[in-house]
Amino acid sequence: MRSIRSWLPRAVLIVLLSLLPLSTSNNYYMDIIVQIFMWGAAASAWNIVGGYAGQLSLGHAAFFGIGAYTSSLLFIAFGLSPWIGMLAGGGLSALFALLVGYLSVRLRGPFFALATIALAEVLQILAIYWRDLTGGGAGLLLPFKPGLVNFMFESKHTYAYVGLGFLLAVLVVTLAIERSRLGYYLVAIREEEDAARALGVRVLRMKLVAIVISAFFTSLVGSFYAQYILWLEPPYAFSLELSTQFALMAIIGGLGTWVGPLLGAVLIIPLAIFLRAWLGAAASGLYLVFYGMILVIVVLFMRQGIVVETRQAFRRWMTGHRQLVSG
C-alpha cells in the first residue's frame, strides 16, 4: 500500500509528461513544452549538486557551454554524430567538474559560488578569444541537416520526446541518488559538513561524485540546446545569466526535492515565452525582472520552495479539516 502511494504519483507524472507533446500540434506551444523539458532537465541536474549536496554553484553554464560547443564543433569539423559528440562533451565537462569539485573543499557558501562564477567567466573569455575554433563572439551556426544520426529533426514533436528522454534520465538518476547511501551522505554534507566528516563520510569523494554527475547531465542539455536552436554564442552559452537560471528554477520549485526543479521550470518558462510573445522586443529583459522578483520572494518568504511549502500548507489544511470533522 505504502509503495503504491509513493510510486503512483510518479507514474502519473511520467504518463502526463509523455502525453503533453500530444496535446498540441501548434509549434508555439510545442516550443514551450520542449523548453520546459530542456530547462527542467538542466535545473534538475543542478539540483543534484546545489540542492542535495548544498554546493551552490553559479558556474554551471560552464558545463552547458562545454557540452554545446563540443558536440557542435565535432559535428561541423568531422561530421561526427552529435549523439556521440554529446558524450565527448559530457566527458570533458566531467573533467572540468573535478577541478570545480576540488575547489569546493576549500571554499564554502558564497566563496564557492564566486569561484564557480570566475571559472565560467574564464571559459567564456577563452571561447570568445579562440575565434578560429569557436566562431568567437560572432557565434556559431549549425547547418540544418535533419536526420536521426545528425540529432536534427523537422518536427518539434521529435525534439519534445528527445527532451523528455533527457529529463526522465536526470529524474531517474536523482531518485536513485536520493534513495542511495550517496543521497544521505550528500544531505549530511549539506546540513553539517564538519559533523559529516567526523562521522566518517568521505566528503571530498562524495562532493566529486555529485558534481561530476551534475556536470555530465548539464553538458548533455547543452548539446541538446545546440541541436535544437542550431545557434551558439559564448556570451550566452557560458553566461552567469544562464547559471543563475538553472539555480533559480531549482530554488523556486524546491531545493533537494526530485520534482522541485521540474516544477520550477513549469512555472517559470511559460512566463518568459508568453511575455516575449505578448510584448515583443520591448519586453526583452522584463521576464528576468519577474524572475528576480520571484527568486527574492521565494528565498525570503518561502525558504523551502514551492513544493515543500505547498505540501506543508496542504497538510496543515488537512489536519485542520480533520479536527473540524472529528470535533
List residues binding another protein (CB under 8 A): 54, 56, 58, 103, 106-111, 113-115, 117-119, 121-122, 125-126, 128-129, 240, 244, 247-248, 251, 255, 283-286, 288-289, 291-296, 299-300, 303
How far apart, in whole angstroms, are the C-alpha atoms of residue 217 and residue 97? 12
CA of residue 242 relative to chain centroid, distance: 10
Whole-number Cα distances in Å, 119 to 44, 73, 101, 132: 21, 21, 12, 22
Q: What minimum distance in Å lies between the beta carbon of 258 and another protein?
A: 18
How far apart, in whole angstroms, are the C-alpha atoms of residue 126 and residue 134? 10
How far apart, in whole angstroms, are the C-alpha atoms of residue 248 and residue 267? 11
Instruction: Name the residue nearer to another protein (CB basis): 26 or 284.
Output: 284
Q: What minimum distance in Å lies between the beta carbon of 115 and another protein?
A: 5
Instruction: Name the residue nearer to another protein (CB basis): 1 or 281.
Output: 281
Q: Which amino acid is at 289?
A: V
Q: What minimum distance in Å lies between the beta carbon of 275 and another protein?
A: 11
Instruction: Name the residue nearer to another protein (CB basis): 172 or 299.
Output: 299
Instruction: Name the residue nearer to another protein (CB basis): 130 or 317.
Output: 130
Task: List 152's β-bridge partners, or say none.
Answer: 147
Output b/e per residue, 79-92; b: 16+ Cβ within 10 A: ebbbeebbbbbbeb
Q: Please name the residue that has the C-alpha cell 520549485.
A: 253
How far apart, in whole angstroms, are the C-alpha atoms of residue 276 and residue 211? 33
Instruction: Name the residue nearer to another protein (CB basis): 45 or 103.
Output: 103
Q: What minimum distance in Å lies between the beta carbon of 231 and another protein?
A: 19
How far apart, in whole angstroms, are the C-alpha atoms of residue 95 and residue 100? 9
| Residue ranges in 79-136 assigned as alpha helix (H) | 82-106, 110-129, 131-134
Instruction: Name the residue nearer to another protein (CB basis): 200 or 285.
Output: 285
Q: What minimum distance in Å lies between the beta carbon of 290 and another protein?
A: 9
Instruction: Name the residue nearer to another protein (CB basis): 29 or 121.
Output: 121
How far apart, in whole angstroms, are the C-alpha atoms of residue 122 and residue 153? 33
Q: What minimum distance in Å lies between the beta carbon of 168 and another protein?
A: 27
Q: What minimum distance in Å lies between the beta carbon of 84 and another protein?
A: 30
How much of the chain is helix, strand and coil, in % rounded to 5? 80, 0, 15
Q: Would you call 148 helix, strand, or coil by DSSP?
A: coil
Q: What minimum distance in Å lies between the beta carbon of 4 and another protein?
A: 34
The full length of the chain comes to 327
Q: What minimum distance in Å lies between the beta carbon of 291 and another protein?
A: 6
Instruction: Name the residue nearer to another protein (CB basis): 205 or 303.
Output: 303
Instruction: Name the residue nearer to another protein (CB basis): 55 or 71.
Output: 55
Residue pair 38/225 in contact (Cβ under 8 Å)? The answer is yes
